Amino acid sequence: MRKNKILSIVILLFLFLGCFYLSVFASHDGFGVDLFLKSFHLNDSSEDAVILELIRYPRAIKAVVAGVCLALAGLFLQTVSKNPLAEPYITGISSGAGLGIVLSVLFFNSANYSFFGFLGAMVSSLLVISFAGLRKFSITKLILVGLSINIFVSALISMIILMNSEKSYSMLYILSGNLTENNLVSDRYLLLIFLVILIFSAFLIPKLNFLRLDEGMFFSSIKHKNMYSILFIVCSALLTSLSVLAAGILGFIGIISPLISKMIVGQDFRYLFFVNIFLGASLILFADFLSRTLIYPMQIPLGLVVAFIGAPVFVFFLTRKGDILND
């Protein structure tokens, strides 16, 4: 059994590397083998080198950041809430990010919209956690507060879009998610922040196993257990906000990646952690490849491609092992 789980991690690692290759080197007219071979001998001033350095690599890095962040955030929230359908935007982050993006387009002509989406996501998640209460913490209360804020802010976003028809197309396109924007936060800083949060999350994994088992003996008190629950929710909010900064609003990954990963390796987070992050990153990378090649030279919004890929993949796995919702 242990060998099978390790083999699954290795297979998902190779899947991730393959999707990364497609995202960086492949195009509408081929799999980019020539570009891959030339990449080892490119001059800094060559056209191919400029394309790889300024467009393809940053785009792939953002895809990895977004995929891993959403996959981990979904895993944390599903475990803490004991709800297999919980997803990263349950804390009102999607509506907060959407409002930040829409206001950016409205007042700043789309400049650095993902940064404003990040700010909106952070403010929204902090409001939800504050209203849910830290002293008398309740997952149910958190979900209801998040749902209420989502509904209210989503209505506000719809009103802003309807009242600004000349910018409605830009708003709707950006809200669908993409990897093309140059952010106020450079890719290096984005990657650094991501690595810090990823390493911190990895150290929390043993506590996640205990939360899943709901064994009081592992925690000195209910307050101690609630502290870890809140910590995982804050981490989820940070991860989801970081994914907004990298790629805008992308749904579905936070639900399907943890669930499919559990179908592959079970509930042991020592293995689930790696399978989940490789799968989440692979899904976004492959979606990015399809978004820029299916109807070239036009690009399909990344969020739409993620939904088109994620829904059938999830249904396929669900029909093979549908009992995961009852685990």
CATH code, 250 = 1.10.3470.10
From CA 80, how far away is CA 129, in angstroms rounded?
14
Closest by CA position to 186, among listed 178, 194, 197: 194
From CA 207, how far away is CA 230, in angstroms rounded?
12
List, for the chain, all residue ranges whose pLDDT scores fall below the cut of 70.
1, 38-45, 109-112, 133-137, 181-187, 212-225, 317, 320-327
Are the beta carbons of 308 and 294 closer than 8 angstroms?
Answer: no
Radius of gyration of the chain (CA): 20
From CA 160, how far away is CA 228, in angstroms rounded?
38
Are the beta carbons of 58 and 190 closer than 8 angstroms?
Answer: no
Helix (H) or strand (E) holding 274, with range, is: helix 269-293
Closest by CA position to 243, among listed 226, 227, 230, 257: 257
Helix (H) or strand (E) holding 294, with range, is: none
Please state whether the peptide bond connecting residue 297 to the residue before it is cis, i.e. omega within 30 degrees of 0.
yes
Closest by CA position to 209, among listed 271, 136, 261: 271
Residue 177 is predicted with a pLDDT of 75
From CA 288, how far away is CA 59, in angstroms rounded?
9
Cβ count near 311 (within 10 Å): 12
Q: How many domains does the chain have?
A: 1
pLDDT tens-digit profile of 286-320?
999 998 888 877 888 888 888 887 778 777 767 76
Are the beta carbons of 271 and 261 closer than 8 angstroms?
Answer: no
First to last CA, the chain: 18
Residue 193 is predicted with a pLDDT of 82
From CA 18, how far away is CA 8, in angstroms rounded?
15
Give the CA angle between residues 197, 202, 206 to the nearest 5°: 140
Tell me, rounded to whole angstroms, the distance of Cα 242 from its chain centroid. 8
From CA 146, how far away is CA 134, in angstroms rounded?
15
Task: Count each helix (H run) and each strand (E run) in the chain, helices first.
Answer: 13, 0
Whole-model pTM: value is 0.86
Cβ count near 119 (within 10 Å): 19
From CA 92, how far away is CA 90, in angstroms rounded?
6
From CA 215, how far away is CA 309, in angstroms rounded?
37
Which domain range does residue 28 map to? Answer: 2-326
Residue 19 is predicted with a pLDDT of 92
Are the beta carbons of 256 and 72 closer than 8 angstroms?
Answer: no
